[in-house]
Amino acid sequence: MSTKQQALFIIFGGTGDLAKRKLYPALFALYQKGIINEHFAVIGTARRPWTDQHFQAVVCESLPEQDTTAAKKFAAHFYYQSHNVNDTEHYVTLKKLAQKLDKKYQIGGNRLFYLAMSPRFFGTIAQHLKSQEIVTADGYNRVIIEKPFGHDYQSAAELNQSISKYFSEDDVFRIDHYLGKEMVQNILAIRFGNNIFNSLWNNRYIDNLQITLSESLGVEERAGYYETAGALRDMVQNHILQIVSLLTMKMPTTYSEADIRREKICALKALKVYQPQEVAENFVRAQYQAANGLKGYRQEDQIASDSQTETFVAGKLKVASENFAGVPIYIRTGKRLRQKATRIDVIFKPVPGNIFADQNLADNILTIKVEPEGKVSLQVNVKKIGQGYQLQEQQLDLSPENRNGQQIAEAYEKLLLDALAGDATNFTHWEEVAYSWKFVDAIRQAWDNSQQPLVEYPCGSMGPKQADELLAIDHRHWIY
C-alpha cells in the first residue's frame, strides 16, 4: 500500500472549504511520506479567475507547515484552471492541461477526479469527463465523491444513475470519512481478530449496542444546507449506519473489498424498516434551545424562526439477522451537545446467575472511543485486594499500542491513499447507500406526516429526556 503512486488529481471545487481544510493537508501528508512524490500533479478547478501562483499560495496556507521548502516544492505541483462545470469549452482546455501535466510529470494516464462541490453538478461533470475524453485509455480513471449522496432514496438513485452511465461502480469512490478513522477501522480487527469477541458477538451474549456521535458545535456556517438536511440525513444515513453495518455484519470470508462490502450490504439490508407507528415509538427528534449563553437553533443566522429541522436524533434500531435479532441498537447524534465525541459501547449480557448474591456485578462493556481520543477498553469485574470478598469493576485498556510512535493519519489521508491504490473497502458501495436511504426515508416520511412536534433540549446537554426514556422503557440507560 505504501508504494509510490503516480496520479493526476483533478479537483472540482478547488477553492472550496473541503479542499483547503482536508484535501490539501491530506495530500501533503502523503507527499511527506513519499507516497506521492515526483509523478503527481493537481489541477484545481473552480469558477474564480485565479493564477497558478495564487492557487499555490492558497495551497501553502492550508498546510500545517506553510513556509518550508517541502511545502513549496509540494505546492509547485498544483495548477489552477478557471472552470465552470456547465461550460463544455472549459473541459477542452482542461483536457489540454491534463495532457500537458501527464507528460511533464510522467504520470502514465492515472487520473483521480475529486468532486468537492455540490452533488447537483456530479452528473454534468461525469458526462463531460467522458464526452470530452478527459478520461484516459492508458491509466485508471477514478471518481471520488462527497456526501450528501442524495437527500432520499429516489434522488440518490437518480444521482447514481447520472454517474454510473459514465463510470463503473468499481471506479466510483463514495467518501464517508468516518470509514477512514483509525478506531472505526479497528472494529473489524477487534471483532474478527479475537475469538473471545468473535464467539460472543451475537444475541446470546450481547445485550445491546450503543452508538453516540455528539457534536459540541452548533450549525455554524452550514445553515443553508443543514436546514434542508437535519441530523437524520446528515449523520444517521451515512456515518451511523456505516458503523452499525460494521458492528452487525457477519464475518467476511476474507479481509477483502468484495467480501467486506458484501457482508455490509447484507447487514444494512437486515435493518428493520419501520412503519409510522414504530417510528413514533423508536425515534426521537429534537432541536437545541438557547442555554449556557448559546443561541437556540431557530435564532441562528439563515434558520427559519419556525424551523422543523431536527438537530438531534435518537433511535432504537432492530436487525433481522440470525446473530442480531433481539439486540437493540441505540443510536444518538446531535449538535450543541455536552462535548464532541464519537463512541461505541457494546454491552454484554450479565452472567447467568450471580453467585455473589449480595453484590452487584458491573456489566461487561466493550467501549470503542473513536474521538476525541482513540481508545478501546473492556469493563470487567475483579476481586478487590484485601480481606473479605468484595468485587470491583476494572477497566482493561485494549488501546492499540503505538510501537513506532506514529502520528495517527487523518481520515482523508488514509482514504486518498486507498483511492490511489484502488482499494474501495473503506468507501460506500451504491447498495449500502440504497439500503441506508430506504431505512432513513421511512423515518423521515413518518415525521413529515406526523402532527407530533419536535422536542427541545438545552445547549450543552446530552439531548432531551425522551432520548433517555427510549432506553428506560427497556430498563436500560445510556452508558455515555
Report in angstroms how near the CB of residue 150 gets to ligand NAD at its nearest.
Answer: 11
Judged by CB under 6 A, the residue of 27, 35, 43, 46 near ligand NAD is 46
| 349 is known to lie in a ligand binding site | no
Judged by CB under 6 A, the residue of 35, 36, 119, 211 near ligand NAD is 119
Residue 38 neighbours by CB distance under 10 Å = 11
Candidates 246, 314, 256; CA nearest to 284 is 314
| 14 is known to lie in a ligand binding site | yes
| 52 is known to lie in a ligand binding site | no
Judged by CB under 6 A, the residue of 85, 101, 279, 409 near ligand NAD is 85
Report in angstroms how near the CB of residue 125 gets to ligand NAD at its nearest.
Answer: 9
If one asks whether residue 417 binds ligand NAD (CB under 6 A), the answer comes out as: no
| 177 is known to lie in a ligand binding site | yes
Report in angstroms how near the CB of residue 51 gets to ligand NAD at its nearest.
Answer: 15
| 215 is known to lie in a ligand binding site | yes
Report DSSP letters for 81-147, one per residue: EE--TT-HHHHHHHHHHHHHHHHHTT-TT-EEEEE-S-GGGHHHHHHHHHHTT-S-SSS-EEEEEPS
Tell me how many residues contact ligand NAD (CB under 6 A).
Answer: 21
If one asks whether residue 118 binds ligand NAD (CB under 6 A), the answer comes out as: yes
Q: Do residues 39 and 107 lie in contact, with contact meaning Cβ atoms separated by under 8 Å?
A: yes
If one asks whether residue 346 binds ligand NAD (CB under 6 A), the answer comes out as: no
- C-alpha cell belonging to residue 266: 447484507
If one asks whether residue 16 binds ligand NAD (CB under 6 A), the answer comes out as: yes
Put residue 386 in one of left, alpha, beta given phi > 0 → left and psi -120 to 50 → alpha: left
Candidates 94, 14, 23, 88; CA nearest to 47 is 14
If one asks whether residue 15 binds ligand NAD (CB under 6 A), the answer comes out as: yes
CB-nearest residue to ligand NAD: 16
Put residue 292 in one of left, alpha, beta given phi > 0 → left and psi -120 to 50 → alpha: left
If one asks whether residue 83 binds ligand NAD (CB under 6 A), the answer comes out as: yes
Nearer CB in complex with ligand NAD: 130/318: 130
Q: Of the residues 83, 128, 239, 429, which is catalytic?
A: 239
Report in angstroms how near the CB of residue 369 gets to ligand NAD at its nearest.
Answer: 22
Residues 6+ apart with CB under 8 A from 271: 241, 244, 317, 318, 319, 320, 435, 439
How buried is residue 196: exposed, middle or buried, by Cβ count under 10 Å (0-12/13-18/19+)?
Answer: exposed
Judged by CB under 6 A, the residue of 101, 117, 303, 479 near ligand NAD is 117
**x/- track of binding to ligand NAD for residues 142-181 (CB under 6 A):** ----xxx---------------------------------
Q: 239 an active-site residue?
A: yes
Q: How far apart are CA 457 and CA 81, in angstroms?
A: 47
Judged by CB under 6 A, the residue of 8, 35, 116, 286 near ligand NAD is 116
Report in angstroms how near the CB of residue 4 gets to ligand NAD at its nearest.
Answer: 28
Nearer CB in complex with ligand NAD: 269/414: 414
Sign of CA dihedral 457, 462, 463, 464: negative
Coil, strand or helix at 190: helix
Torsion over CA of 28, 31, 33 and 36, rounded to 10 degrees?
140
Judged by CB under 6 A, the residue of 1, 4, 17, 51 near ligand NAD is 17
C-alpha pair distances (Å), 99 with each of 36, 40, 405, 468: 19, 13, 41, 58
Nearer CB in complex with ligand NAD: 419/471: 419
Nearer CB in complex with ligand NAD: 91/439: 91
| 20 is known to lie in a ligand binding site | yes
Nearer CB in complex with ligand NAD: 26/462: 26
Phi, psi values for residue 302, rounded to 5°? 65, 15
Please state the separation of Cα 95 from the chain's center in Å: 32
**x/- track of binding to ligand NAD for residues 227-266 (CB under 6 A):** ----------------------------------------
- Give 19's DSSP letter: I
Q: Do residues 121 and 115 lie in contact, with contact meaning Cβ atoms separated by under 8 Å?
A: yes
If one asks whether residue 84 binds ligand NAD (CB under 6 A), the answer comes out as: yes
Nearer CB in complex with ligand NAD: 47/384: 47
C-alpha pair distances (Å), 181 with each of 103, 130, 204, 370, 412: 35, 33, 29, 7, 9
C-alpha pair distances (Å), 154 with each of 10, 311, 325, 332, 471: 29, 23, 29, 25, 33
| 300 is known to lie in a ligand binding site | no
348 bridge partner residues: 206
If one asks whether residue 62 binds ligand NAD (CB under 6 A), the answer comes out as: no
Q: How far apart are CA 87 and CA 398, in angstroms?
A: 54
Stretch that binds ligand NAD, among 117-125, 237-245, 311-319, 373-381 (CB under 6 A): 117-125
Residues that bind ligand NAD (CB under 6 A): 13-19, 21, 46-47, 83-86, 116-119, 146-148
Query: Which amino acids are annotated as binding site for substrate, given as ranges?
Result: 177, 181, 215, 234, 335, 340
Residues with a known catalytic role: 239
